[in-house]
């Protein structure tokens, strides 16, 4: 618990919380504005559409019969524990810590959906002619940006521990 009081750690946990809040505010707005599978064109290549995803990325295991809900909740909880440990260790490395905070917030945003609703609310839908990217949400976006930052950070080399001179 005292780690949460560490100002460096607290900053990154606030970033994760901001992702969760933005994710759930947008999901609430879309869920209260659109009917299920209703699409509102915003741009020629982008629409808002309310869909429910019982699977993971790209609806992986969406038709698995229901067990996947708790499996993905468990994966999200394990990921949270791992990310919290990594964040504690690397709170002094801004790019790495930001990446971890984004992934943490996104993972928890989707885990909350699975626990409360039994599915993840997706609504951002990009398409062009016959090509369509599966709908996603703010949490998915944060996870993607965080993962990209993690890859970028890993390509830049090893970190020097913040506790060493």
Task: For tokens 């609504």, name the residue.
Answer: 123
CA distances from 79 to 63, 134, 141 (A): 23, 23, 17
Can you say how many angstroms the Cα of residue 23 is from the centroid of all Cα atoms in its chain?
Answer: 8
Sheet containing 120-128: order of strands: 39-43, 46-53, 120-128, 131-132
Say which of 23, 113, 140, 153 is annotated catalytic. 140
Instruction: Tell me if residue 23 is catalytic.
Output: no
In the chain the first and final C-alpha atoms are separated, in Å, by 26
Say which of 23, 113, 122, 153 is annotated catalytic. 122
Instruction: Tell me if residue 35 is catalytic.
Output: no
DSSP H/E element including 124 = strand 120-128
Q: What are the catalytic residues?
A: 122, 140
């Amino acid at each position: 618990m005292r780690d949460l009081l560490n100002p460096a750690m607290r900053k990154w946990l606030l970033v994760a919380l901001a992702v969760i809040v933005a994710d759930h505010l947008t999901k609430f707005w879309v869920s209260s504005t659109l009917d299920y599978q209703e699409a509102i064109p915003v741009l020629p290549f982008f629409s808002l559409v309310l869909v429910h995803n019982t699977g993971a990325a790209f609806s992986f295991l969406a038709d698995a019969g229901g067990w996947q809900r708790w499996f993905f909740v468990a994966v999200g909880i394990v990921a949270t524990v791992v990310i919290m440990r990594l964040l504690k260790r690397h709170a002094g490395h801004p790019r790495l810590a930001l990446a971890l905070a984004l992934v943490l917030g996104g993972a928890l945003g989707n885990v909350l959906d699975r626990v409360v609703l039994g599915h993840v609310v997706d609504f951002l839908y990009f398409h062009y002619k016959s090509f369509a990217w599966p709908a996603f949400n703010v949490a998915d976006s944060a996870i993607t940006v965080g993962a990209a930052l993690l890859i970028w950070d890993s390509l830049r080399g090893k970190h020097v521990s913040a506790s060493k001179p």
